[in-house]
Chain A
Amino acid sequence: SAVISQKPSRDICQRGTSLTIQCQVDSQVTMMFWYRQQPGQSLTLIATANQGSEATYESGFVIDKFPISRPNLTFSTLTVSNMSPEDSSIYLCSVGGDSHNQPQHFGDGTRLSIL
């Protein structure tokens, strides 16, 4: 399966600032997804990153708060904007899921703490 690299692996940020997380894949992939995993919780899909068009956001997530870029088939970014302590989470990108029976594979995640 594809090798997925996320940067940064962790960060501590100040309230009100923004952070951009990068996800790089070693091969071209059609589908890329961004998830949030809050402390002690499971994964929640934020959005599907579409190459060449705007991301598709899930209910409860908006572009102003979580802008996403997908400039090509190997790279995507997620920005967490105007951060507050409630945004302290692990953010994960995944690839795969081109069809319903194809598993998704996850990057190692970005552990974000907001002070």
Chain B
Amino acid sequence: GQNIDQPTEMTATEGAIVQINCTYQTSGFNGLFWYQQHAGEAPTFLSYNVLDGLEEKGRFSSFLSRSKGYSYLLLKELQMKDSASYLCAVTTYGSSNTGKLIFGQGTTLQVKP
């Protein structure tokens, strides 16, 4: 089966750094995506990891360890607008070659002044 775990909620302070973890147990793992979803809005793409290591994009970085089934999203210099849900999603090799996404339950991040 497929299992993706994230903390349900996190709270952090404006200007700080926060790390959101995601662990997965999936057969045929291919790669891992992070999405941001503000309340009442559609998810937007943040990052993608397929190889082990860190991918950096401005204030956001994402890390993957395939051997440990583990990823994290690191948000630096937190801003109030970063208050949102962060969704971890994996793609797997299956009967088709398309990037079908399996989502974790999402982590709701609240940034406080």
Contacts and interface: CB of A to CB of B under 8 A. Distances in A.
Interface of A: 31, 33, 41-45, 48, 56, 92, 96-109
26 contacts: A31-B99, A43-B87, A45-B101, A48-B96, A48-B100, A56-B96, A97-B99, A97-B100, A97-B101, A99-B97, A99-B98, A99-B99, A100-B50, A100-B98, A100-B99, A101-B48, A102-B99, A103-B45, A103-B48, A103-B99, A105-B44, A105-B45, A106-B44, A107-B42, A108-B41, A108-B42
Contact of A48 (B31, B42, B98): B98
A43 B100 contact: no
Nearest to A93: B42
Contacts of A92: 42-43
Contacts of B21: none
Chain B interface bracket (under 10, 10 to 19, 20 to 34, 35 or more): 20 to 34
A8 to B, nearest CB: 15
B29 to A, nearest CB: 10
Given A42-B106, A101-B50, A103-B33, A33 B100 contact: yes
A60 to B, nearest CB: 13
A43 B31 contact: no
SS of A interface (majority)? loop
A49 B99 CA distance: 13
A43 B33 contact: no
Contacts of B100: 33, 45, 48, 97
A81 B40 CA distance: 24
B109 interface: no
A100 B97 contact: yes
A104 B101 contact: yes
A94 B30 CA distance: 20
A101 B98 contact: no
Contacts of A106: 42-44
Contacts of B103: 42-44
A83 B7 CA distance: 32
Contacts of A31: 98-99
